[in-house]
Amino acid sequence: MNSTTNIATTGLTKSFGGVRAVDHATVEFQDGKINAVIGPNGSGKTTFFNCVTGMIRPDSGTVSYRGRDVTGKAPHRIAAAGIGRSFQLCRIFPRMTVLENVLAAARPRGVAALLGSARGTAEIERARGWLRRVGIDHLEGVEARDLSYGQQKLLELAGVLMAEPETIMLDEPAGGVNPALIDRIATLVRELNAEGRTFIVVEHNMELVMSLSDHVVVFDRGRPIAEGPPDTVRADPAVLEAYLGV
């Protein structure tokens, strides 16, 4: 592992019954860069994310974050180490307001007390700052269930950012989102990356991946089959075979 490695896995494996969803995956992601993970449906991308972030425990192999072994750690410990993530299907509290959702991301058991205390003022203003940053501050009093799906994606991202992670893993941020909001998400990712945050993004939108990423890793059948700059990966015969069967 070199000094520019962010998250790295060695031999990471996870099976469900007789299906090996992640198959001895060994891969490194670059620190300070926008990394993308692509691959056909069922290639193991989300299971890989879940193993890395502690949502499920791998059967074997290791996960390290900036040289520190975090294999099998609980999700809250992974988060405390500096890794935040979003999910393929938004995880929000539908009957809570937009502002309450962002506060809950940082204080899941103490939102009511926070809202009712003078000492919570700074946290509330910080939450409002992230809502401004993602462009939905005007909706802070709206219940999350009343947002569009794209706005819910932005709300989830604001919640991730509330924890101030150094590394952000996004699972299909453009999925089901209209083009205008995709552009907003892409702009946010670029800005936050320029400010020092590392990104690892699972995405099916190839136009977005190729325009946004510095480094692309391609998964097929549970393991990485190619990696490198977008133009190099796009022309790789193994990638063409995995996607197109050619």
Instruction: Give the β-pairing of 167-171 and 198-202.
Output: parallel
Looking at domain 1-82+166-246, its CATH architecture is 3-Layer(aba) Sandwich (3.40)
pLDDT of the residue at 68: 94
Tokens at residue 227, please? 């990696």
Residue 115 banded pLDDT, cuts 50, 70, 90:
low
Residue 1 banded pLDDT, cuts 50, 70, 90:
very low
**pLDDT over 80 at 98, yes or no:** yes
- Identity of the highest mean pLDDT range in 89-93, 107-111, 118-122: 89-93
204 and 175 in contact (C-beta within 8 Å)?
Answer: yes
pLDDT of the residue at 12: 96
pLDDT of the residue at 246: 45
54 and 71 in contact (C-beta within 8 Å)?
Answer: no
Q: Mean pLDDT across the stretch 85-108? A: 86
β-bridge partners, 15: 20
**For all residues of the chain together, what is the average pLDDT?**
89
Measured over the CA atoms of residue 166, residue 230, residue 88 and residue 154, the dihedral's sign is positive
pLDDT of the residue at 116: 55
pLDDT of the residue at 7: 96
pLDDT digits (tens, 9 = 90+) for 186-238: 999 999 999 999 999 998 888 898 899 999 999 998 999 999 999 898 888 88
pLDDT digits (tens, 9 = 90+) for 137-181: 999 999 999 999 999 999 999 999 999 999 999 999 988 888 888
34 φ/ψ angles, rounded to the nearest 5 degrees: -100, 105
pLDDT of the residue at 117: 54
pLDDT of the residue at 166: 96
Count of residues making up the chain: 246
Rounded to the nearest 10 degrees, the angle between the axes of helix 98-106 and helix 149-162 is 30
pLDDT digits (tens, 9 = 90+) for 33-58: 999 999 888 889 999 999 999 999 99
167 and 197 in contact (C-beta within 8 Å)?
Answer: yes
What Rg value do the Cα atoms of the chain yield, rounded?
Answer: 18
How many angstroms separate the CA atoms of 196 and 93, rounded?
29
pTM: 0.90
Q: Please report, for residues 44, 104, 232, the alpha-carbon distance to residue 202 in angstroms, rounded to integers and kept in the order given.
A: 11, 25, 18
The residues spanned by each domain of the chain are 1-82+166-246, 90-164
Residue 111 banded pLDDT, cuts 50, 70, 90:
low
